[in-house]
Amino acid sequence: MELASHRDWVKDIEDTQNVKLNFPIIADSNQKVANLYSMIQSEDNKMTVRSVFIIDPEKKLRLTITYPAAMGRNFAEILRVLDSLQLTDGYKVATPANWRDGDDVIVLPAVSNEEADELFPKGYEVVRPYLRTTPQPNK
């Protein structure tokens, strides 16, 4: 796909989805970038897969999600992951499976109960000796 058709695609997205794209897109007609990042569907199907790369301010790759070319992305999941990364970067917690912004989080096992008492003034629940939950600390 050439750059001109990408511009048309962006306009179509803006018109049909009522959103404004606020990120760059590239044309990769020779699939150089797609090959560098292993984004080719298969040897038999040269379509590019749809990948999401989350890179932090220190330019460290934090997450890659790859979807088959025929599958749409789950933007709610991408936002959930961003929320989790930002939360866990700022607090000594982990987010459990299916966590949503505002749900309880897990106190990191390396945090002692004494430190947890200081870090989590809303308290925490001891589910198992290695598993403690607390209300999301930034809410």
Q: What is the C-alpha to C-alpha distance for residues 101 and 68, in angstroms, rounded to an integer? A: 27
Distance between CA atoms of residues 66 and 70, nearest Å: 12
Kind plus residue range of the DSSP H or E element containing 106: strand 105-107
What is this structure's pTM? 0.80
pLDDT values of the chain reduced to their tens digit, one per residue, 139 residues: 566 787 888 899 899 989 888 887 878 888 898 999 888 888 888 888 888 899 999 999 999 999 988 888 888 999 999 999 999 999 999 999 999 999 999 999 999 999 999 999 999 999 999 999 999 999 9
Domains and CATH numbers, the chain: 1-30 (no CATH), 39-73 (no CATH), 77-134 (3.30.1020.10)
Q: How far is 56 from 93, CA to CA, in rounded Å?
A: 18
SS3 of residue 104 by DSSP: coil
DSSP codes, 22-68: -S-----TT-HHHHHTT-B--SS--PBPEEEEEE-TT--EEEEEEE-
SS3 for 96-128 is: CCCCCCCCCEEECCCCCHHHHHHHCCCCCEEEE
